[in-house]
Amino acid sequence: DTEVTQTPKHLVMGMTNKKSLKCEQHMGHRAMYWYKQKAKKPPELMFVYSYEKLSINESVPSRFSPECPNSSLLNLHLHALQPEDSALYLCASSQQFSYEQYFGPGTRLTVT
Amino acid sequence: QKEVEQNSGPLSVPEGAIASLNCTYSDRGSQSFFWYRQYSGKSPELIMSIYSNGDKEDGRFTAQLNKASQYVSLLIRDSQPSDSATYLCAVNLDSGGSNYKLTFGKGTLLTVNP
């Protein structure tokens, strides 16, 4: 089973809202990732967690705040987003770094 | 700057033909290579991984890796209309502290015509 789940599937939020995206995997993977993907572009790495600790922040604005409550869950907290933050947000996991990364279905975010 | 290059396409092939997708990468230290398929509006789906020189076959898919030429390809045999998607080549540098990061090409749009 190589399933990564994400909720919600779609999210519309205003620029003053606070919302959270959730990601879950039960494959025992120790690395988890958040990506952002704009239309007709490849995924762009945002954050990397390894063994539940934040390893990499790819210079992401502070209005995006990741959290890893346990080895299976990954959250992305959103606050005061801009319309240009509208995108498909993807969660992925892998057994370790450099192994295959499996993506969840994504959350389509629209900021109004 | 580590780069992964793909022809953006569109690549159009008739149903039943072989589709050939190509990818070159700039960093000789790259160790892990992946092909993802992405349907419009959906997330990337891993279809092949390859780590050593040569061919790797899985059903109708064959990945080919040539590290000396810094080239990786994906062949799709007996192409079906359901194979119509964007194919993303992704490369992982397995050294120098960067082995967490997948570098993606821009993707090749494949259209299989019935």
Burial of A55 (0-12, 13-18, 19+ CB in 10 A): middle
Contact A97 B104 (CB under 8 A): no
The residues pairing with B72 across neighbouring beta strands, listed in sequence order, are B23, B65
In A14-86 the beta strands, taken as DSSP E runs, fall at 18-25, 31-37, 44-50, 53-57, 64-70, 73-79
Q: How many CB pairs under 8 A join A and B?
A: 50
Cβ-based contacts of B107 with chain A (< 8 Å): 42
Asked if A52 and A73 touch (Cβ cutoff 8 Å), the reply is no
Nearest Cα to B72, choosing from B47, B100, B49, B44? B49
Phi-psi region of A28 (alpha: psi -120 to 50; beta: other; left: phi over 0): left
Query: How many residues in chain B?
Result: 114
Kindly report which listed range (A9-23, B16-30, B38-52, B93-107) carries the lowest average pLDDT score: B93-107
- Torsion sign (Cα): A107, A26, B58, B91: positive
HSE-up of residue A27 (Cα within 13 Å, Cβ side): 22
**Closest approach of chain B CAs to the CA of A105, in angstroms?**
5
From residue B22, give the alpha-carbon distance in Å to each of A5, A6, B15, B27, B64.
Answer: 31, 31, 19, 16, 9
B88 touches A at CB < 8 Å:
yes
**Closest approach of chain A CAs to the CA of B99, in angstroms?**
5
d(CA B11, CA B60): 18
Contact A106 B43 (CB under 8 A): yes
Which pLDDT score is estimated for A97? 82
What residue type is assigned to position B7 of the chain?
A: N
d(CA B50, CA B31): 9
Nearest Cα to A31, choosing from A88, A91, A110, A112? A91
Cβ-based contacts of B43 with chain A (< 8 Å): 88, 90, 103-106
B101 has a pLDDT exceeding 90 = no
Which pLDDT score is estimated for B7? 86
pLDDT digits 0-9 by tens, B49-82: 999 999 999 999 999 999 999 999 999 999 999 9
Q: Across the 112 residues of chain A, what is the mean pLDDT of every consecutive 10-residue run?
A: 91 95 95 96 95 92 96 96 97 90 98 96
Which pLDDT score is estimated for B55? 97
